[in-house]
Amino acid sequence: MAALTVSVLVPMAASVQAGAANPAHVEQLETTRACYACDLSGADLSQMHLIGADLREADLSGANLMEVNLEGADLAGANLNGANLTDAFLTNASFRDADLTDVNLTQAKLYFVNVEGATLSDIDLTRAEVVGTPISVGGN
């Protein structure tokens, strides 16, 4: 019976870790502001200053990016599905070909953001400031 208990607990432990940010990648981002194709899914990156950060192809799905400064950051091809960017500062950031499905951009500042080819489904732009960025409420 003990062997059965162990074999049941191991798969459960593995499923808890699925989708969790890689701690080494979080540390790399904090120290270098460069984390190409990193796993930052579900990470708490709130209030970080990531000015000019290289986050191309990074997995930021479900990440907490509240009040983060991503001025000039490159997030081309990144997965931000379900990420929280409430009150984020995104001046001159690039989200080219990124997945922004279900992203919360409440009160975010989007000034001259590149969203060419990005998936922009179900985003929340409540009280967001959008200037020089081809995102609008409504339409097709």
CA-to-CA distance for 129 and 108, rounded, in angstroms? 6
pLDDT in tens, 58-115: 999 999 999 999 999 999 999 999 999 999 999 999 999 999 999 999 999 999 999 9
According to DSSP H, which parts of the chain are helical? 2-17, 23-32
Q: How confident is the model at residue 41 (pLDDT cuts 50, 70, 90)?
A: very high
pLDDT in tens, 63-79: 999 999 999 999 999 99
Quote the Cα angle for 134-103-120, to 5°.
Answer: 35
pTM of the model: 0.83
pLDDT of 18 over the 60 cut: no
Could you tell me the sign of the dihedral formed by the alpha carbons of 28, 32, 37, 41, in that order? positive
